Every structure is written in structure tokens, then in C-alpha cells.
Amino acid sequence: MKREDFIKGKIYTHEQYMELSIMEMMESKAEHTDKADPKVGAVLVDRNGAFFDKSHRGELRIGDHGEFTVLERKHPGEDLSGFTLYTTLEPCVKRNFPKKGCYKRCINARIGKVFIGHPDPDPTVASNGYKLLKKAGIEVEFYDKKYEEEIAKANEQFFKEATKRAEEDKTKEIQSAIDPIENELIEFQLQDLSEEAQRTMIDKMG
């Protein structure tokens, strides 16, 4: 099926909703020129399991996330409680103020269930979007493996850069834990130890 073939109010299969979100994902518009932006597609399904709406990153405004677009730009103030959201990438957690993470927008909209196409390896998300949705009482499941691989392929450059950022953050955390110890050793004087401890250290050092 084509994206245009989906009719609001008509019920489609779980697989068709996942496939539609991937088709939307491929329409995503990049925001930056100095780094890769994730490609994200979202599909909203009503309480009866019928197609309600769809969106992709940057659809209405460059920089707007797919989930935000379908939940708040397209349907501000509407009752979406109990709806199901299909999103190709794990909802984000941190945004620059006054923006909110997409996980929070799902909670505020009282979404009942979220299907996630692929975990987000960026250190600002890194499974926390999934955990926060679950903690809020939202049912969360993941796409089938074949769709997950398709999403990963389309986001190859973003995932590569996000993984690098995660590794750099981990190195910084380790370094920040080591630095205080190194500083203490730099300032260490033998006379700081007791006579007995000094003798023990000298004996061990030969």
C-alpha cells in the first residue's frame, strides 16, 4: 500500500501500521548540516484500532519531531487518551527548554500503548524513553525484527554518530571518577602516612 491509500477511520493490520510508519520515516526532513538527524515516522491509531493520522520528522516545521507533530501540531487539545502510537524510533527524553521530550508528550496525551521501531542509541535517550513510558503506565512493545533492521539501515549515519557520542560520554564519566584520585596521588606526601605505614610501603617498594 501507498501512504496515500490509508483512510482515516478504517482498520488496518498491525503490520500495515508498522510499514506505514516506515514509509513516513523515509519522508523525514533533516534539520542540521553538520550532523545526521534521525529519520522518524509516526502513526496514530484510535481506540478502536482504526487509522487516525500519521507524520514524520520536519513535516510541518523543520526540527519538529514526528511524535510531537502528530500529537500536538496536528491534533492540539484533542482527546487522544487510549490511542496507540507507532513510532520508528524510541521517543526522545531531553530537549532544549522550552521543548519537552516526546516521551512526555505521549504521557500528556494519555496514549495507551506505544510500539517502538528501534531503540535510540543517543546518550540522551539510551532506553530511558522506553523506561519512562513504562513507568507512566503506558504499554510498550517493539516492532518485528525485520522492520527494526530496516529502520537501522535508514538511520545508519545517525546511529553511528549517536553511538560515538555515547562512547565519549562514558569515557568522560570514567575520567571524572578517576581525576579526584589522581589529584590526591599528585599531592600525596610520604609523611602523610603513619610511621608504620611508611615502613610497610618502603619495604614493599624495596
- Provide mean pLDDT across the span 184-202: 64
Q: Kindly give the pairing relationship between strand 51-56 and strand 84-87.
A: unpaired
Helices (H), 4-101: 14-25, 66-68
Model confidence over 150-192: pLDDT tens digits?
999 999 999 999 999 999 888 776 666 656 656 655 555 656 6
Catalytic status, residue 67: yes
Work out whether the CA dihedral 190, 196, 199, 200 comes out positive or negative: negative
Q: What is the pTM of this model?
A: 0.82
Catalytic residue selected from 19, 24, 59, 67: 67
Q: Kindly give the pairing relationship between strand 84-87 and strand 139-142.
A: unpaired
Q: For the purposes of burial, counting CB atoms within 10 Å of the CB of 84, is it exposed (0-12), middle (13-18) or buried (19 or more)?
A: buried
